[in-house]
Structure 1
């Protein structure tokens, strides 16, 4: 028995860091949004009982270091089965991009194995399991538009009134999230998002006001080290983006566009400069099963 799933990327429409907790993690407040850019995971039962991973890219590990492997092992242990799984990952989401590509793969594995192994777990059960793998995994299981608080695991749905076009652009390097947070001086944050306003604009379908209110406080660390992030944001705005910020800890930048034509032209222009540029749209579902 096999199953195919789309594991979708996310962007952050805002990120605020409120403080540092005693355990070393940061207390954050983020508005997260699923987009159509996705990896494809094919999961088949492995009669040997082992978990195996293969991929069409050499940019990710295909062993126990892969979060998809960890997700399969966690599910196997949780339901107490001796069954195995073979997981094939077709990567479309850029690696190390701040778009939760790995977390979305883990979300797809939990969702897929729940079906293949007939575990009968609810979506909330899977989300509770997912947080053990990473703070973004529960969001990637549920998808849509969410306010994320705590370390990102406390999720509150936001009712989005309309979808919009998004162009994402990743320069040819990655940034360590751990390093960004380590170098963030909370006392020096000069501009913070008005999260309530961001949510209000989403609920009202006011895309222009939303785009103008997006703020990611982690930019002050990443932009200082990598000027190309500012450069991409400027290019986005020159190409008629309504607003443009970095997602996650970077280095990927995205822009919101009023219509497909503007977004399509921007994608073409930016792709001529940075290969990993994609035109996509907001979506309301995280993991999507489309075969099996």
Structure 2
């Protein structure tokens, strides 16, 4: 039995630069990880089946599951003769903008790499992972990084300054493709990617908080006003910075002091079922 941890990611910045010829958007985003994890275990099977064992109402256990697709990709790429049973203990909320499915897929690729003694480098797995999801290359490494292209070009940054993170997911699901379709690239929304990179590499916490920015945030907020309410609530309650992660709907607030973080947590806990108080990992 092999075990892997799959940490959630948050976007510190997310910029969409232009629409590519392949239909995807060219993106530039700074991402890091937080101490909110799914835990996965992997066991070889005597047949060639892929079995995903997960106790969660909203998560499929078939080809719609990214971990299943990652296992299939690994079996086909490396011509594996045995299947795998993947058990997922899920803490990352679903359809939240926290890359829970991508983190599980990345953990599956790392886990199967070890389970079958393939000894493939993470760079190779990262290049493979982009076939099934744009966040998977980042999740393979789970380090603070800037990701460009479709997400496949990963450049590592320093670990961010230590901070508490309050994550709040309102009770709604958001489809990333729908948000990208609604995105108007002519609408100006400044994203501070360069400032964010410099703040991280200099260990400047307050500049990092000032740089938090997401091109998709106004789009998701216009469709779901509760996202903006949560963000404003966090800032009014003393968050040093707050931002929607990914295409949403999860909003996070950063705080240096635990007492400050608990105040933010208590303030948003009344309006959201899924609220978490965690630390930045990176």
Range class of TM-score, shorter chain: over 0.9
Provide Cα deviations, 1:27-80, integer angstroms capped at 9, x if missing partner: 111111111111111211122221101112011111121110111111111111
Higher relative contact order (CA 8 A, sep 6+): 1
Deviations 1:115-171 (A, max 9, x none): 111111111111111111111101001012111111111111111352221111100
Task: Please give the alpha-carbon distance, in whole angstroms, between the structure 2 residues aligned to 1:247 and 1:215.
Answer: 9
The 3 A distance-change label for structure 1 pair 232 and 161 is closer
Alignment of 1:95-134 (within 5 A): 95-134=94-133
Q: State the SS of the aligned residue for 1:178.
A: helix
CA distance in 2, matches of 1:166, 1:247: 12
- Indicate the larger mover: 252-261 or 99-108: 252-261
Q: Deviations over 1:216-238 (max 9, x none)?
A: 11111110011101100011112
Is 2:8–2:92's contact at 8 Å kept on the other side of the alignment?
yes
Equivalence for 2:163: 164
- Residue correspondence of structure 1 range 189-200 to structure 2 within 5 A: 189=188, 191-200=189-198
- The corresponding residue for 1:78 is 77
8 Å Cα contact 1:161-1:204 kept in structure 2? no
Matches within 5 A, 1:33-52: 33-52=32-51
| Cα RMSD, aligned residues only | 1.2
8 A contact 1:55–1:89 mirrored in 2: yes
Q: Find the counterpart in structure 1 of residue 18 from structure 2.
A: 19
| Aligned partner (choices 223, 226, 229) of residue 224 of structure 2 | 226
The aligned length equals 282
Please show how residues 1-292 of structure 1 align to structure 2 within 5 Å: 2-160=1-159, 162-189=161-188, 191-284=189-282
Instruction: Calculate the TM-score normalised by the size of structure 2.
Output: 0.97
- Aligned equivalents of 2:95, 2:204: Cα separation in 1: 31
Q: 1:161 to 1:170 in 2, by over 3 A?
A: closer
- Mapped partners of 2:93, 2:194: distance in 1: 30
- Cα distance in structure 2, aligned partners of 1:91 and 1:267: 21
- Residue deviations 1:14-39, cap 9 Å, x none? 11111111111111111111111111
8 Å contact from structure 2 (residues 195, 207) kept in 1: no
- Distance of 2:98 and 2:43 partners within structure 1: 26
Corresponding residue number in structure 2 for 1:288: none
**After TM superposition, what 4+ stretches of structure 1 lie above 4 angstroms from structure 2?**
none
Q: List gaps (5 residues or longer) in structure 2.
A: none
Structure 1 unaligned regions, length at least 5: 285-292
Q: Deviations over 1:163-209 (max 9, x none)?
A: 221111100111110010101011012x3122111111111221112
Q: Distance in 2 between matches of 1:208 and 1:162?
A: 10
1:283 CA drift (Å): 1.4
